[in-house]
Structure 1
Amino acid sequence: MENPSNFKRPKASTIGTPVYHRRRRDWKDDRDLLEELASQVNRVDGPYDSFDVGVTAYREKVKSFEKSYETNKEAFFMAMWVREQLSELSRKQGNYHLSVHALTFPEDLDRTIHGVEKRATQSGFVPPQQETSLSVLFPEPELRNYARERMQMLHRGDLNSYLASLVSKERDSLATNSASIMDLIHICEHKLNLRQISFEKRYVVGETDLWITAWSLGIEVKNTWGEQEELSLISTLSNTNFRLRARHLVVVVPDSLSDDAFEMIRAIERRDDFSNLSILRIGDLGTYLDKIKEIEDGIV
């Protein structure tokens, strides 16, 4: 078997995509996403046909948003459409780069944007009777879309189960700070289950939250970061390496973690104290797992 130190470990700098490709934190994320894509559309040597009707329409739309992103509803829904396309691209490609992988722009971009708005505010991915309930419970479209996504991912579209979970988490959060940690762990489990990867939940002090025996992979989840937490994390990683002979370790943080905090925690990875360690945002975990599978499949 190859020495794990010879592995070319996946890193956020090589497999990561900007958070705003996956989720919207504020209007600046819409602006950054649409303008990043526009920069590729405008490249002479890029993957787009500059005379294509859809490409031209996109270019003109972005130009019209120049100073109105913060209040422009059309920009909001166009960014939502782009994220949907990137999600599909990621599903098909595993990893992508906007300078190489082109999106297909519809000829009637206005109609497409209107369709996204209608779907987001009136109907969606759940039965009509549940959509009505969601509309009443979450009048704000962005919040309703988030609730729908969480309900589908974690509760198979069962609204009652989702609401019960929210109440339970609120109750638990009164006594502990672990609710958001458990949410992240559930997302990790979901990504593992999608790939039919068997794992164990570890409740041993000083070991990672999840353990994949077949790959000797430990997954540790952190939802916040501060200098005082560094020793605890290093201890957990060291113990997992020693006790379980880990070939791979990954620390997963929320997409919502600030860029400054993310760079602080990634300093541990850059120090190379752990040659098998990767530190990633949750949105990049799927790509990481696919890369680890490639590595493990290549072990002699």
Structure 2
Amino acid sequence: MTSTQFQSAIAVTGLRKSFGDHVVLDGLDLDVPRGTVFSLLGANGAGKTTTVKILSTLISADAGAVRVAGHDLATESDAVRAAIGVTGQFSAVDNLLTGEENLLLMADLHHLPRGEGRRRAAQLLDQFDLVEAGRKPASTYSGGMRRRLDLAMTLVGSPQVIFLDEPTTGLDPRSRRAMWQIVRDLVAGGVTIFLTTQYLDEADELADRIAVLDHGRLVAEGTADELKRRIPGGHIRLRFTDQHSLDSAVHLLDHASRDNDALALRVPSDGGVRSLKTLLDRLDHRGIEVAELSVHTPDLDDVFLALTGNPNKEKVATR
């Protein structure tokens, strides 16, 4: 095993999957460092669900090499299953059981001794703020409580890697933020999260790295900021105290658009530190004083729309 594989919670090379004549995954490469949140984005049909199903041993790949938690997916599938947890879009909670009984059932499925199972259930009820609700039927739970219980059930087996499939779908803003904090706490404890979500702000908020799938191919990968800087539309807005400073800046800066009423300029920029420093150095060299500066970059919605939808798009990646 290489040092890279040892450091990776998930390492994927050349992953391929077809259903009949329909190619779903076309040579996918992924590397997910341990103890991070990795988000996979893509339109419906891009291959997200198929990827998660393969990595969690639910279906087999046609080709490619995969290691999850240090185990080879093809030859050590039982070890992979023992190391992972999966929380799907639709809750696995049994409505007829109480929250505590749901957790004890999972403890039995993981073959935990009775005493250890009860201790684990009590610990998770406390961790997920479900102690008072623990003896009530799950059918009485709110959406946020059900999602917390669902994730708690996934954690009974102490997984190293958790696949979260749209974990906050249908939740109110307060419950979504509570779930985000739970994810952060899990990662701080060393767990790796593989996240799929329809909420781009969720990926922006949580993910250390983001990969974008389009028609079964990886079309971009990087941090949220790296991806945003790749999309046209980023700019720096400069506001000046007087017309003379504005005029001087217009003559100095190429491709800047001016707003005379606001005494402002909009200068195209990738939003990076280097380009910002270069711009300020040029202005300072000419003695042009800036009253106010703000950096504007595209959001992940812009990234998503720009990178997906074209089946002939060349494969590119940000490292």
Larger % of helix: which?
1
Q: Is the radius of gyration larger for structure 1 or structure 2?
A: 2
* TM-score of the aligned structures, taking structure 2 as reference length: 0.27
Larger % of strand: which?
2
* TM-score of the aligned structures, taking structure 1 as reference length: 0.29
